[in-house]
Structure 1
Amino acid sequence: MSYKQWLLQAKKSAVASGIETSSVEWLLFDLLGWTRVTLLCDGDEQMSESDTQCLNEGLTRLLAGEPVQYITEQATFYGRTYHVDSRVLIPRPETEEVVAAFIEKCPKSGRIADIGTGSGIIALTVKQECPHIEVWASDISSDALVVARQNAEHHHATIHMLEGSVLSPFIENNIRLDGLISNPPYIGEEEMPQMGANVLTHEPHLALFADDKGYAIYAQLLRDLPKVMSEGAPIVFEIGYQQGNALCEMARSYYPHLQPEVMSDINGNPRIFYMTWHASPEEK
């Protein structure tokens, strides 16, 4: 069987299982290190035994509902490729817009932190786009930090990493921040029935779900801001598209003198929370 014949049969199997055929192409390209040009030039060649085994094993996992990124252990974010596996979330395209918003407001120097870094893609993107900034990243999951360190090494980027819950490791180490970005768990457990089976089965729940209808981690972040933030520091969170108003109200309840706002993504959905940190008049 040729590679093109295998791809055609695999696409038919994907359609029968309700899986997008583009995932099959992605599987072939990433597992074999091919491009569309390679497929055009070499696709009529007979498949080697090792390639046949590799692709068939990958296809079996794909048809069983496993995300293609976990099968290939690769995901693209902000034009760069990163290692991902079941220890971390798969990066979503909308998160790129959150990072772009933060980079636009990022200080030209100083220290920023990515809270709940997972695979490290946010911290590493900020570091690579803003090389003069000192970047820190934290996560409660030691397994996730192993992946983040692997990605940092691959991209030759220096990121300081801490294990711990939300802002606790920064408070404990007396680290002040000139900027803060976070894509925390923000899905309420009551929303589980609306989630895709492949997400619920394969992606880490610790990185997806939060108590208090998804607001628990935001509350912890907001509560501890005075202990770590420098004057004038930008704060950016990714949020659920229905959480903007409530999160702004929460922020104002903690800090009536601040002006939180919500920005929309390219699809017009309110997915980016932003505010500039200023100490309260009593603290100045």
Structure 2
Amino acid sequence: MSNFTTTVTEFLLMGFSDTRELQILYSLLFFLIYSAGLMGNLLIVIVTTFDRRLHTPMYFFLRNLSIVDACFISITIPQASVNCLVNNRAISVTGCATQVFLMVFISYVEFTLLTVMACDRYVAICHPLLYPVIMSPQVCVHMTVTCLFTGLLFAGFHTGYTFRLSFCQSNVIHQFFCDIPSLLKISCSETFSNMLSLLASALAIGGGCFVFITASYINIFSTVLKFPVKEDQRKAFSTCIPHIIVVSLFLISSSYVHLQPPSDSGSTKDIILSIFYCIVAPFLNPIIYSLRNKQIKEALRIIIKRKLSLKE
């Protein structure tokens, strides 16, 4: 049969809707949400960079997370919105491979950064006297570089392992961006080893990080509840609750997208869940941290006052 098949040179992505008017409406709506999410994350980067009081390990990792979220939200939505507006669903094999690599890389870095942030909160609350030594600037930089380097290896392996497959039966991806589960669905090669490697990676990386985060917060909560002063308990919880909410959002949305195989027809449910994973979670992260963090709000007020005074 392989002698009569043609190798795929480009893929066709799904749109947000089959109706032209709804395509334009959804594209504009998602682009507005994307713009707001991008500005929110960049605002946290600016605030935590220019306010010296926020030059601590906690805000160093928060700044890195905001940079990752800004990249995450920029990989799929802008191109998908433009494609719907110009009514063009085609994406080259190279462009698809690039998108897969970036999605896997950013997802990996985001999850490992959230794990490192849980470690930071654990040391700060459970071992406060050792905190400056354990979480020194050098250690924080090494942790971040490790997340990036291992993320490159992880994304490179899974991207290469996916695109070694042949795509000759269909070039229609039942998703509005390129992702590995959708590509495996349309491959005409044997994909059992690919699915096995994805499952093993999810259990090893995802499961390991989840266990570490859970264990960290069990120890944190048990320590905080022993604080004699209620105000100290409140302050400790206020630094942990935003992180817990962000981790929950990322885990729930990513689990729904990657652990549920895409349907053959590209259902609306698959599209909605993927939109939540790609845009809603990164969009909400800066809002969650800003609303729950008095230091960020105060730093933002100071920066705005400085800008206004310079204009006057």
Tell me which of the two structures has the higher relative contact order, counting C-alpha pairs closer than 8 angstroms and 6 or more residues apart.
Answer: 2
- TM class, shorter-length: under 0.3
Of Structure 1 and Structure 2, the greater helix share is in: 2
Of Structure 1 and Structure 2, the greater strand share is in: 1
